[in-house]
Amino acid sequence: MNTVITLPDGSQRPYDGPVTALQVAGDISGRLASAAVAARVDGQLCDLSAVIEGEHELQLVTDRDEQALEVLRHSAAHVLAQAVVRLYGPKVQYTIGPALIDDFQYGFYYDFDLPEPISAEDLPTIEKEMAKIIAEDLPTERSELPIDQAKQRMAQLGQDYKVEMIDDLARDEGASVVSFYKQGEFVDMCRGPHLPSTARLKVVKLLTVAGAYWRGDEANKMLTRIYGVAFFNKKDLAAHLDRIEEARKRDHRVIGKQLGLFLLSDAVGPGLPLWMPNGAIIRMELETWLRGELLKRGYLPVYTPHIGRLDLYRTSGHYPYYKESQFPPIQISEDEGYLLKPMNCPHHIQIYKAVQHSYRDLPVRLSEFGTVYRFEKSGELSGLTRVRGFCQDDAHIFCTPDQLEAEIESCIELTQMILQTLGLSDYRVRLGLRDADSDKYTGDAAHWDQAEDNIRNVVGKLGMNFTEERGEATFYGPKIDFVVKDCLGREWQLGTVQVDYNLPERFDLEYIGSDNAAHRPIMVHRAPLGSPERFVGILIEHYAGAFPLWLSPMQVAVLPVSDKTNDYAATVLSALKAADIRAELDDSPEKIGAKIRRATLAKAPYMAVLGERETAAGTIAVRHRTGGEAGALAVDEFVAQLRQEIDSKGLETPLLPTGS
């Protein structure tokens, strides 16, 4: 049978019989053959050794192709597994080892069930063995076996996890054959494709070792996961490692310490952050701003205590659902117990219930910066992003079915406005839906369907990009989450809007409709920041500590050139303070260069350099933290410009005009 290969440029190559992608590449050029890592036949990714017969489109995947990196890293994972088996013996069980493409730090991993624990100190040894395997230039050979034989083969090798995976493939995907890859003495069950030979792997580095549950299930055995990265050249690896190192400098835990923003004190307890004066300014500014926005939008402020009766949370469902992740109740007597509040909604619900509501009153929007406590598992705690005691910029909206979607929309717009103002544009939107197979959700299916339709309608109307994720809903309703990544690429939920038909039911909430009959309101739970703790943690990383002027703890560093001008500096300081600008005077006996350095490291947006010239002219020599002299300004001009930048919540620093 004749074979005709059509290349991406439209040209065709005829062959008398079957041909492999690698052969075609070689016929085009030797260079292409050595650059190709895989092939795409009729759009389907496959090995270079795949046999092509008949009329097909062929595209050779080279290192310039995005998917090439995936193939490379997948092969790197196989070499890692081979090295581990060589070093730790046939008792090693290798399970799964995928390539990672979107991960900020890691390029691949492999999960092992090892006969002995290993640590990061063992990684160089493993890397050496991998280098050997690469040097051995072992060709990779693909083969296929029917399910039964495949299981037998893996069972013979003592690979119980693989046997389980084959069963899954047969059951879930109806697979009748399974493919294997063999390189030297090592055989792995794998879809592929892979590099044609281990020698094609040039730059591999192992990064860390960690635990990971088999199948990601806590109930299963913990396996040993080894993470690594692989690239086509050393330059890319060096750039990658640099990027990680740079990112670590943005870590809010590092910057938070440097700039005195917050503190996690062992004496107070894990996950209980203390806001230091500089951090408190940032939080205060955000909250003040948000309070104003809420009042404009018809929210009613309320305050509620930090604890409530256990029964309240039994009714709401929070206690039974999250018993394990609560601080234990405060038991006063056998039948009187209190819980640190894990959520504000039950308290707000009581406020709603305290008076009778007419449909004319709705929507009722009760807002509170309410502090809640959750006993997060110790391994989960992390800086400000995951804590045990934190505030929520919370509100609960009680409304009629007719009002619901407009309220959801308004919550989304508020959240988007906040993110936009702060320049947080790199976020994704997730619709958290219920998993109908799970028993973790409360309430009836009709309400769930209704609620899911409600949020879909709104995000659809607003034309938002979003992903739907089953099993990500709260126990009482579906939600819209705004998710961002931290400096190391880990995702965190910030803002959230949740639709709830269930708590109104549980608490028997009512309003009187125009028909003079009692109706059930619907609740919206929403927090545009999510939590000031987590939000500020993310903001610290977003700005790398260099906050916009309105949020900066120190807005102006007042720097006399020598103590001859200290008096003038003091008058400038007073003028700034009188204008509600956060200014600090550095009258230490340092030279001006050192003072500038200190203020720059403290991320003060502006420096007012005051020497004899300025004293004589009554001006300020302005410098921005990004460097360079911006010229001299009269004190009142400087104040006016700062005021404008502060009031506009400017992200970009306007250039201060030069001149006297």
Partner RNA sequence: GCUGCUGUAGCUCAGUGGUAGAGCGCGUCCUUGGUAAGGACGAGGUCAUGGGUUCGACACCCAUCAGCAGCUCCA
Q: Which of residues 120-139 bind RNA (CB under 7 A)?
A: 120-121
Q: What is the identity of the amino acid at 534?
A: R
430 binds RNA (CB under 7 A): no
144 binds RNA (CB under 7 A): no
DSSP letter (8 states) at residue 426: -
Which residues, 6+ apart, have CB-to-CB distance to 255 below 8 Å? Answer: 249, 261, 540, 541, 544, 545
The active-site residue out of 111, 188, 393, 394 is 394
DSSP code per residue over 155-191: HHTT-HHHHHHHHHHHHHH--SEEEEEEETTEEEE--
d(CA 21, CA 101): 24
447 binds RNA (CB under 7 A): no
Question: Per-residue string for binding with RNA, 205-244, x by CB under 7 A?
Answer: ---xxxxxx--xxx---x-xx-x-----------------
> Is 374 tagged catalytic?
yes
> Is 525 tagged catalytic?
yes
> Is 399 tagged catalytic?
no
Shortest separation between residue 583's beta carbon and RNA, angstroms:
16
Tell me the CA distances in angstroms from 378 to 221, 269, 382, 605, one per residue in order. 20, 11, 9, 37
The active-site residue out of 40, 341, 479, 534 is 479
Shortest separation between residue 380's beta carbon and RNA, angstroms:
5
The active-site residue out of 162, 252, 396, 625 is 396
Closest CA to 335 of 309, 355, 361, 360: 309
359 binds RNA (CB under 7 A): no
Binding to RNA, residues 613-632 (CB under 7 A): 613-614, 621, 623, 625, 627-629
Judged on CB neighbours under 10 Å (0-12, 13-18, 19+), 462 is: middle
The active-site residue out of 162, 348, 374, 434 is 374
Binding to RNA, residues 242-261 (CB under 7 A): 251, 253, 257-258
d(CA 256, CA 70): 36
> Is 447 tagged catalytic?
no
d(CA 70, CA 570): 61
Shortest separation between residue 449's beta carbon and RNA, angstroms:
19
- Contact yes or no for 206/87 (Cβ under 8 A): no
Token representation of residue 135? 């040097």
Shortest separation between residue 345's beta carbon and RNA, angstroms:
7
d(CA 356, CA 531): 31
92 binds RNA (CB under 7 A): no
88 binds RNA (CB under 7 A): no
d(CA 195, CA 201): 8
d(CA 113, CA 223): 5
577 binds RNA (CB under 7 A): no
The active-site residue out of 46, 190, 345, 399 is 345
Backbone angles phi, psi at 608, to 5 degrees: -105, 105
320 binds RNA (CB under 7 A): no
Binding to RNA, residues 327-356 (CB under 7 A): 342-343, 345
Under rule CB under 7 A, how many of the chain's residues touch RNA? 84
> Is 396 tagged catalytic?
yes
Among 322, 456, 579, 637, interactor with RNA by CB under 7 A: 322
> Is 59 tagged catalytic?
no
605 binds RNA (CB under 7 A): no
The active-site residue out of 392, 403, 493, 555 is 392
Shortest separation between residue 612's beta carbon and RNA, angstroms:
4
- Contact yes or no for 279/255 (Cβ under 8 A): no
- Nearer to RNA by Cβ, of 279 and 342: the residue is 342
**Catalytic residue positions, numbered:** 345, 374, 392, 394, 396, 479, 525
